[in-house]
Amino acid sequence: MKTSRKKIYPWVKSELTDSQALNGKRISEKDTPVVSFMEDLSVIFVIKRGEDVFEVLKDNMLPPDCDIEELYHASCENLIRDVEFVIANTWYGGIRHYSTMAIMRASALCFKHIWQVCVDKLKDDLVIMVPAKDTILFAPASQKMVVEKMVEHGENAYEQSKDKVSKTLM
């Protein structure tokens, strides 16, 4: 498991389904490690099998004594090592997050650095939306018009994505 552990990544999800599978196969918490994250979001783990091919990690793929918290931290370290994340301003005054691997963008929520940059830039006045696996949006909570534009942007991203996450504001 040591070599494959370096290919395990966290995926942030609201519904435990695998949209890559035919008919959006349901992921069972009975046989898949799931970490409760925030609001209605959870983290599952995937193994990178190819350039853009990922497989959901199942319990039977782990050693019996595997510590899920350690696995979570190791998967976050893999993200930091393998994926470049960029924070950019949006046209409506919010912040959008980009990465070199679109399929991993929502997983950036696992990075303390991303949170700290947004909190510093928005002076701890922060609302977040994760409409799709490839989209994270941040806006200053006190600026109603900016939040409204962010919600509009996020709802469009949610409706257009096959990998929907959530329309919930956090």
21-67 residue pLDDT tens: 544 577 778 888 888 888 788 888 888 887 767 788 888 888 888 89
Residue 98 is predicted with a pLDDT of: 65
Helix, strand, coil shares of the chain as percentages rounded to 5? Answer: 35, 30, 35
Contacts of 114 (CB under 8 A, 6+ apart): 85, 87, 97, 108, 136
Distance between CA 69 and CA 58 in Å, rounded?
15
pLDDT tens string 131-143: 888 788 888 999 9
Q: Is 16 helix (H, G, I), strand (E, B) or coil?
A: coil
Phi/psi of residue 119, nearest 5 degrees: -65, -45
Asked if 86 and 104 count as a contact pair (C-beta separation under 8 A), the reply is no
